[in-house]
Structure 1
C-alpha cells in the first residue's frame, strides 16, 4: 500500500468515529471473511486477535508470532478498500521501543488503526495488568511511530480491568476512568473498556470522556440502539463472527459424518460469487 492510500484510509477511519450512529466494526480474520463483510456494505473492519490466531493454528493470548500476524494483516488489507483496524494485543513487546516497532510494521502492512491493551500474559499463560504509567509510555511510543510515518492511525487503548475482574469491584470503574484519561493524554484516540457491559456505568464513562468509547459484543451487552443512547461511539463484534463460521462448519461436518448427505454442501452462495469477491477492484 502506498503512503497516499495509507493516509487516506487512516483519515477515513478517524472520521467514521464521528458519525451520527455508533461505528459497528465486524471483526474478521482473513481475506475471505474481510471481503464478505466489505461486500455487505461495512465501511470499516477490524481484526480479532483470537480469530486470527485460531485461523493460523494458535490459541489466543499472545501465542501467535508477530510476523504471522503481520503477514495476515497484509493479506487482508491487500483485498480491501475499507480501512482496517488491527488488534495488536499488547503490542508484541516488553518495551515501548518494541511496541513502536510493531505499530510501524502494522501500518506498513495496511493498518489504519490499532488496538493496544494494558494486559499481558506471562510465560505461564497467567494474565498480568500493566501499570498505568507503563501503558502511558507504550502508547506514547505507538503514537510517535505513527507520526514518524506520517500516517494518522486511530489508536484504541484497551483496558482490561472489567474483563479480568482486576481489583476491588467498587474501585474498578474509577480506575478504568483514570486509566482512560491517562491513555487519551498519552496518544490514544479512543478507549475500550472491554468487559464493561453495565448500561449505567457505560453511560457514566461516555459522559466523562470527550473521546470515542468502544464496547464489545459480549454476553450482557445492550443492543445497538441502547448503546447509541448511552453514548457509545464504537462497537466491535469481537469473536462473534468467527464463532458463527466455526459453528456452521461444525454442523456441516456433523451432518456429513452422520448422514453422508452431500446436499448440505449446497448453498445459494456459489463458486462464481466467491470468485467475484476477489475480482480486481477499480
Structure 2
C-alpha cells in the first residue's frame, strides 16, 4: 500500500512521531504503518528551539540515519521549507526524496521573533510552484500542508481555516494538517469542507481515535508530546536515583 493510499483507509492512519533512530526502531517494533519526524523534538536533541533554528543539513543528516534503520514509510516535518523561495523548497524536498522520504509537512506560518501566519494566497502559489517542479521531475511526495490557524488562535478561526484549505487544495496539496484543533464540531466542520484527507494532532481534549474516525479524520499525529513526556519521566527517574542514592528504582 502506498503512503497516499494509507490516507484513504477506513481507519485513520496513526503516525508515530520520531526524532532519532531508537524512536524509529520502537515504532517499527510496535508495528506502526508509517512514521513522521517531529521538528520540535529533532531541534531539541540538538539544543535548538523549534522554528528552523537547526539547519536543513542537520535535519537531512538525522533523516538519513532514521531512514537507514527502518523500512517504514517516512514523512518529514519540513516546517516552512527552510526557505521562502519555492524553488529552494522544491530542491529540499527532492533531496529528501532521494533518501527515501515519501511525504513532507509544510506549514503556512514562519517563526521570526514570534510565529505568524503567512499570506494564504502567496503560500498557495508556493505550493503550486513546488508541485509543478516535483511533477516535472516525476517525483511523487505526499504534500501534507499544515495550517496554523488553530495553533495561533487567529480571528474567525473556522472561516479562516476553510478559506486557506480551499486555496491549498486548489494549489495541489495532498493532505491538510490542522494542529491544535480539538472540538468535535470543529473537526467535523473542517472535514466536510474539503476533499483532502484531514490530519489532526495529539491534544489534551482531542477525542479518542474511534470518534475521530466517525468524524472523518484520516490521519492522526503525536507531535512532540511523547518526546516531552519521555524526558519528564527521565527527570523523575534521575531525581529518584539522586534522592535514594541507589539505582534500585530502575531495576
TM-score of the aligned structures, taking structure 2 as reference length: 0.95
Which string of whole-angstrom CA distances, capped at 9 and with x for unpartnered residues, describes residues 94-129 of structure 1? Answer: 21122112211222233110000000012xx21221
Aligned to 1:220: 205
> What is the alpha-carbon root mean square deviation over aligned residues?
1.4
Aligned to 2:60: 70
Query: Unaligned stretches of 5+ in structure 2?
Result: none
Q: Distance in 2 between matches of 1:109 and 1:247?
A: 32
Offset of residue 149 of structure 1: 4.0
1:193-272 to 2 correspondences below 5 Å: 193-266=178-251
Assess if the C-alpha contact under 8 Å between 1:104 and 1:146 holds in 2: yes
Aligned to 1:181: 166
- Residue 103 of structure 2, aligned match among 100, 103, 113: 113
Which string of whole-angstrom CA distances, capped at 9 and with x for unpartnered residues, describes residues 72-101 of structure 1? Answer: 111111111110110000000021122112
Aligned to 2:27: 37
- Residue 138 of structure 2, aligned match among 130, 135, 150: 150
Q: Distance in 2 between matches of 1:163 and 1:35?
A: 30
Aligned to 1:86: 76
Q: Distance in 2 between matches of 1:197 and 1:187?
A: 26
Offset of residue 159 of structure 1: 0.5
Matched length: 251
TM-score of the aligned structures, taking structure 1 as reference length: 0.85
Aligned to 1:5: none
Aligned to 2:125: 137
Q: Distance in 2 between matches of 1:55 and 1:116?
A: 21
Assess if the C-alpha contact under 8 Å between 1:217 and 1:236 holds in 2: yes
Q: Distance in 1 between matches of 2:198 and 2:46?
A: 30
1:58 aligns with 2:32: no
Aligned to 1:126: 114
Q: Distance in 2 between matches of 1:48 and 1:22?
A: 19
Assess if the C-alpha contact under 8 Å between 1:206 and 1:231 holds in 2: yes
Which string of whole-angstrom CA distances, capped at 9 and with x for unpartnered residues, describes residues 145-166 of structure 1? Answer: 4324423211100111111112
Assess if the C-alpha contact under 8 Å between 1:100 and 1:144 holds in 2: no
Query: Unaligned stretches of 5+ in structure 1?
Result: 1-10, 267-282
Assess if the C-alpha contact under 8 Å between 2:67 and 2:74 holds in 1: yes
Assess if the C-alpha contact under 8 Å between 2:116 and 2:152 holds in 1: no
1:15 aligns with 2:1: no
Offset of residue 193 of structure 1: 1.8
